[in-house]
Chains A and B, each alone.
Chain A
């Protein structure tokens, strides 16, 4: 996908005088978070300890998200692209709330979007959760994100 496939006016940045477009790729890091952080660290070869593939399911999702991430970077370099862990509740849910409300979503729709975003894997664009729980092929996800960004601007 060429970098120009996202309309220039839909790109992030004050230089265009338009509001930022943000995509949040929600996926679990393949390591332990709360409750053991200060006394335990568990994960794959890139983390500190443990060679077993206990988190192989999370790893597979991380890798698929990596594919989507790279495709989006290529296609829309100005898109505000964030990768977040669903357990990062202090940042994730306020961020979705702000983005959704700023983009005109009603309270009910915003809450539904927040509820769907809190999955082991999810894709959120401008506060709206497009995919949750399971992802289709990466190309489908990338296309949906780019379409949504362009559509939102056109609307």
Chain B
């Protein structure tokens, strides 16, 4: 089947979803009112509350929600075949992510732009705020662990990507000095920086960097050495002022996102590649079954709880008209779905013949450990359709993912530091209060420990437990989405509206998440993966807690619609 056909099918599905389902949500479920005075107008201050044109707002919203995660999940999930992965991306985007992202904006806008953390306490229960904090703690721990491994895998398998990835750092530092210290324009230097980065790709190819010698000297594997180096870098990066490195990298990342999406879809169109992966894969014995693992492997790209933070954190405060929440929220979800589609195409049509695909996805360990490599090679193939050598194209793709993952880790460690500080204050542990270096070290060591957990689930017995780690990350992301969907559902119920649009994805997500967590518990116990077992058990408790909170809140609203959730 031509890969282009998958693009056509997905785009047609997204078109009809936007045309009909999002309109149904807007008119019948959320009942958007064009005359409603949004927080952007009511509290208009030109700072946080600014009425913003829907096209501007969609640009802000989409660049805030797009990242590396919609690439990694689908790249693993095609292990079960392209059909389950694509079906979940399409249906998840239409019926879960669209409802979730759109609804988060609406509920927040109806509550004067309050964010999801605050709304969970107000709409669900006071305890839900603590639950939210704990879910985010685990989510960030796993985010940092998985992206540390992602970068290590890419450096190990693409040593040509090391120089370009390193060159980004001085470029970003220069741009930061230029823009923030000297007060100059940033766009031209960032475009020049991007060009320099692309020039560095063939240089990196010519001079690949290996750490084998260092690994041997310290008695560690190459991947472990990379992981430790990456976390050491993250410690330093997260201690720098954001304008030195993080913010300038944001510009380069934004440009890379646009370039990468453009060349992937153009490469598919020009090359007219066919899908080499089976529609449904006969997976190796003892592999995780697609049901329920598919639904937590692909979180971002089908539904991501983190979008609710963006939707309620900034987007709702800038909504010009309530009716535009449909365009921004639902439209942004469709954009994220398109990013996941690009990853599916790279890993199903870009890997060559069926034999190559079967080798790359021989078992779940190979599929999860090699997912990023497969995405990178697939993208390299699409670029070769445009006349760019495949090896250079692969390095380009590796650099895109590495720079995104590096920025994610920088942010993730900073956030984890704040949360650790907050938790230590709540627990009355004064020894940690204000000790930034110690808190940063803890924020690095916790995910580092997880990232170094050996797995052995691949046929070779040498693979990291990356697939397991990734699905755990997926469960926490789905729990965040579950919390937001609970808020949306209770909010709808309190207004005597049909809550099924939110309830169905909520029940589905909670069921799949808890089931997968239970299966993981058994698996980790049998394999003696004690650290992952503890992590999984803790997340399972949070999932059970969320189920209880959601059920109690729904029951309360059904029996006695309360003024507690009243808004305007």
Q: Which residues on A are within 8 Å of B, measured CB to CB?
A: 25, 28-29, 31-43, 46-52, 54-55, 57-58, 62-63, 65-70, 73, 82-93, 114-120, 122, 132-134
Contacts and interface: CB of A to CB of B under 8 A. Distances in A.
A35 B184 contact: no
Nearest to A29: B314
B159 interface: no
Contact of A88 (B45, B59, B246, B407): B59
Interface of B: 44-48, 50, 52-53, 55-56, 58-60, 62-70, 115-117, 136, 139-140, 143, 147, 179-180, 182-188, 190, 241-243, 246-247, 249-251, 253-258, 300, 304, 306-307, 309-310, 312-314, 317-318, 336, 403-404, 406-408, 410-412, 414-415, 417-419, 421-422
Given A28-B247, A68-B46, A70-B45, A37 B418 contact: no
A35 B188 contact: no
Most chain A C-beta atoms within 10 Å of own C-beta, residue among B46, B52, B186, B241: B46
Nearest to B240: A54
A84 B182 CA distance: 21
Contacts of B258: 89-90
B418 A34 contact: no
Contacts of B254: 33-34, 87, 89
A122 B186 CA distance: 11
Contact of B67 (A37, A42, A93): A37
Contact of A35 (B62, B140, B250, B317): B250
A61 to B, nearest CB: 10
Given A40-B140, A48-B313, A54-B242, 6 more contacts: A29-B60, A43-B313, A49-B136, A67-B46, A132-B185, A134-B183
A90 B59 contact: yes
Contacts of B182: 133
B261 to A, nearest CB: 11
Contact of B179 (A63, A91, A133): A133
A118 B186 contact: yes
Contacts of B317: 46
A39 B408 contact: yes
16 contacts: A34-B64, A35-B403, A37-B66, A38-B67, A39-B68, A42-B411, A42-B415, A46-B115, A48-B313, A51-B421, A52-B418, A54-B242, A63-B47, A86-B187, A87-B254, A89-B59
A65 B183 CA distance: 15
Nearest to B436: A52
B69 A38 contact: yes
Contacts of B406: 35
A95 to B, nearest CB: 8
Given A35-B249, A39-B408, A115 B46 contact: no
A48 B185 contact: no
A61 B55 CA distance: 23
Contacts of B256: 34
B69 A87 contact: no
Nearest to A135: B183
A89 B66 CA distance: 14
B47 A66 contact: yes
A117 B66 contact: no
Contacts of B304: 38
What 7 pairs between A and B have smallest CB-CB spacing? A118-B187, A69-B46, A35-B407, A66-B47, A40-B411, A66-B46, A133-B183
Nearest to B45: A66
A151 B412 CA distance: 49
